[in-house]
Structure 1
């Protein structure tokens, strides 16, 4: 019977496809993944070498360049959350991805122009960062920041909204959603590797202009492929402002805080059963957790459907509880992202002062250092999907939960910070005792450990938020990880400023600082956060999927 049901669904899908409708499912997959690939190559080619570009071409000092990069990363990762809200409430994922990808195309064009037209950059100095370097003019800074803003908004608007669009194609199958998320991130990481290596190498060894124009072409191809797949996409109907519905729950609960809760289903309002101004009996009762908010759905004297800020449905109450329930885990994820973001910035600054020659003819570009993290994450994602998870399922009879995967990611992240601190201590000792530069290869192990950790916690977090948040927030749920990263980078900016203000650990020349102490601080920070995460995960109760 199951096979017959499956064949009927396939036959129906074929009929829909021939009639010109948008069936969703796997036929849409190649177009969405190809779009992800095109946009990701463009974004990685722009952001991977941004710090180096600011230092070498705009004569900005190293720590200031990392602070700019932090703000850019924060903005790039906050925009997807705003875009997801707009997609869920008003326009749908398709429109947001299309508009955002066009905005990112404009941003990449501006970057290419700054690299191609000499008048849009200050004159280069012999020793980058010296006091003799000429600062950029207001006009040059203006063009640069316009390009950064357009690229940040555009790339941010496409990143996780595309993930939501892809997951929505499998709205009734969480197994296929998990497979899609794995392939989404696998594509993201693999293509980012190409950006961090090929595009960065061209920028460093051919010209910045050629590298940025490659990003323009890649972005343009992504937009074209996305439009070609339009007929295959399952349309998403915006469900209005879900956040307004959520906001009504605490307001209605506070307005009726004196009311006594009831155990009878007849005393609660279920919006699905109401089509007029009367309040007939309902068939559901709110869950016992966060009981205070159950008052929002409690029918009391003077309540009516028109008074939506006084009476909410049981479903709205339960949706609000889902959001409240994940907040502790959300804060833990922010604290997880802070060490990762700081490590990526600091390792790049370390690479700039380390021996980067690998053999007599090849110099490893500092901007390509992140490729080690990307490669390790990509390889381990494949191993997880094809080897480790099937083995785990065969051994235990269960599939690991998203929270278990996130927990393992915490452990690898802590190990990465420990190795980072040890390596930097050794590097400083070599520099001060023997005036020698350590090979850039010593940075690889810490990046591999952080990359393996990302293979566990990154897809795990996206799957967790997508499956646990209300369906009306599908785009927003996939952008939660982006919100987390965005907040983390702004906190990194503040933390870096505080470290520079109160210590001598982060001077412009890190050879005379104590970056190793910064890493040890992150080890302590990550350890405390891991304990906090374990407590939150232990008490969290999964919603029914």
Structure 2
């Protein structure tokens, strides 16, 4: 029987003739939606960067929270804003779609910014400011903290719900991969531009004009972004919820447990492939032998759920593709776990960098002072420059010398090495700062400030990794504070440089772990994969 030639996996077959039926409104989508989505992203991202970046300083100066504790709170908030996108994605994919998740999240963010603005403008919602040279300050009341943390919770949920969902919705407006790629390029350019504006212009207003005005600006920009997003509703293509990949993972686990006593079969007819019309993937040839026990989830047995006389996916029956996807996730998990400790030092340094900057002379001339939280812009700029150098110089030179492209694992390894070097540079800079402070018995370093270090990673890690890294950084800061004298509230009396040296040691150990995982990892080569399938898989006649 003649067979139709299948396109390469990942090509335009994903947008076959039946695909548009998933959308409401055939003529919606396309570049008409681009200005609405990108301008909305610009407004929401500026507002988010404006309040998150300067949170440590706000907690210290306006709520009299100890510096290290303020850093821990900030890390937890950053962890939540990186974790909430996962929750938002699950809700969008499984239930209500991207539009309503973004709409609801933006409204929550708006409400949170209203509360945050009130804490900055109403004296009754915050303690009295500390007077200089006083050893004790008035602590915040339970009511004041309740309002503050309610505001932070709302804006964190709102920020997390829009961060990546808005990008996904934007990509859904296009059918062609080229258009999607162009959209993503502009979207992330907009995102980083907004972040730079937020951590420079908005933070400057908060530090040098008033916190109230700074938060009012965040509130107004957030409201404008939300209004523009809503105004573009008539032009959006709305994709129906099709289920979350996290649900598929859970179903594979549950189905495997339910069928733990079922004997595995070597016959293709005993496995469920689902409706594979219009799709192609090597996995549909049959279950592989790796993690063979998981194949039970795709085995057909008596009692499996049926619809209209045919087997259907359920919590006791999964497709071969779903099982193989879960196996791939398990395969990559060791490498994934190593990236947590790649981001943890960065998360720790982000908070401590602000404390270092607060203790330094940040004046340029007699009238301008760099806001302490704006120092994070140096990391963004250094990262952008480093990535450009890698892309235009290092990678082409590598290919010329080795006659092959640099693999993703090697690129990540370079990120590990740069992370270690960055921590070592930070330790040396802090040692020098402390030497100057203690030699001259100063409360602030007299010299002008320069960037602490340039941290760069070779690839972007997923949101969950970043969230775990921020949570872990909070635990490590608490641990260092409890068992050492390195992190007192007055950092001039501490040894932040020792913290960085400890992170260097952790980084070296983690790099060894990563290198081991990378050496044991095998890429999915198309030819090798096909040969393996011919030996281990059972094919349907």
Same fold (TM over 0.5): yes
Q: 1:84 aligns with which of 65, 89, 106?
A: 89
Q: 2:474 aligns with which of 488, 493, 507?
A: 493
The residue aligned with 1:102 is 107
- Write out aligned runs for 1:140-539 (5 A): 140-170=144-174, 173=177, 177=180, 179-240=182-243, 242-272=245-275, 284-300=285-301, 303=304, 305=311, 308-380=314-386, 402-436=408-442, 437-438=444-445, 443-446=450-453, 449-450=454-455, 453-454=456-457, 456-458=458-460, 461=461, 481-539=462-520
* In 1, Cα distance between equivalents of 2:97 and 2:201: 34
> Are 2:141 and 1:137 equivalent residues in the alignment?
yes
* 8 Å Cα contact 1:108-1:151 kept in structure 2: yes
Shift of the alpha carbon at 1:292? 1.8
**Relative to 1, partners in 2 of residues 1:529 and 1:246: Cα closer, same or farther, differing over 3 Å?**
same
Shift of the alpha carbon at 1:65? 1.2
Shift of the alpha carbon at 1:177? 4.9
* 8 Å Cα contact 1:76-1:153 kept in structure 2: yes
Q: How many residues align?
A: 496
* In 1, Cα distance between equivalents of 2:143 and 2:122: 13
* TM-score, normalised by the number of residues in structure 2: 0.82
Shift of the alpha carbon at 1:431? 1.9
> Are 2:39 and 1:38 equivalent residues in the alignment?
no
Shift of the alpha carbon at 1:164? 2.2
- What's the Cα RMSD here? 3.3
Gaps of 5+ in 2: 1-11, 16-22, 278-282, 306-310, 527-541
SS at match of 1:126: coil
**Relative to 1, partners in 2 of residues 1:94 and 1:264: Cα closer, same or farther, differing over 3 Å?**
same
Gaps of 5+ in 1: 1-5, 10-16, 275-281, 462-480
* In 2, Cα distance between equivalents of 1:489 and 1:283: 38
* In 2, Cα distance between equivalents of 1:522 and 1:59: 29
**Relative to 1, partners in 2 of residues 1:208 and 1:37: Cα closer, same or farther, differing over 3 Å?**
same
Shift of the alpha carbon at 1:266? 2.0
The residue aligned with 2:535 is none
1:431-472, CA deviations, whole angstroms, 9 ceiling, x for partnerless residues?
2233355467555051xx21xx14x322xx3xxxxxxxxxxx
The residue aligned with 2:531 is none
Structure with higher helix content = 1
The residue aligned with 1:279 is none
Shift of the alpha carbon at 1:172? 5.6
* In 2, Cα distance between equivalents of 1:236 and 1:531: 44
1:490-526, CA deviations, whole angstroms, 9 ceiling, x for partnerless residues?
2111111111111111111111111111001111111
* In 1, Cα distance between equivalents of 2:333 and 2:208: 46
* TM-score, normalised by the number of residues in structure 1: 0.82
* 8 Å Cα contact 1:104-1:150 kept in structure 2: yes
* In 1, Cα distance between equivalents of 2:227 and 2:400: 42
* 8 Å Cα contact 1:407-1:457 kept in structure 2: no
**Relative to 1, partners in 2 of residues 1:307 and 1:52: Cα closer, same or farther, differing over 3 Å?**
closer
* 8 Å Cα contact 1:504-1:513 kept in structure 2: yes
**Relative to 1, partners in 2 of residues 1:399 and 1:118: Cα closer, same or farther, differing over 3 Å?**
farther
SS at match of 2:326: helix
**Relative to 1, partners in 2 of residues 1:544 and 1:418: Cα closer, same or farther, differing over 3 Å?**
same
* 8 Å Cα contact 1:186-1:378 kept in structure 2: no
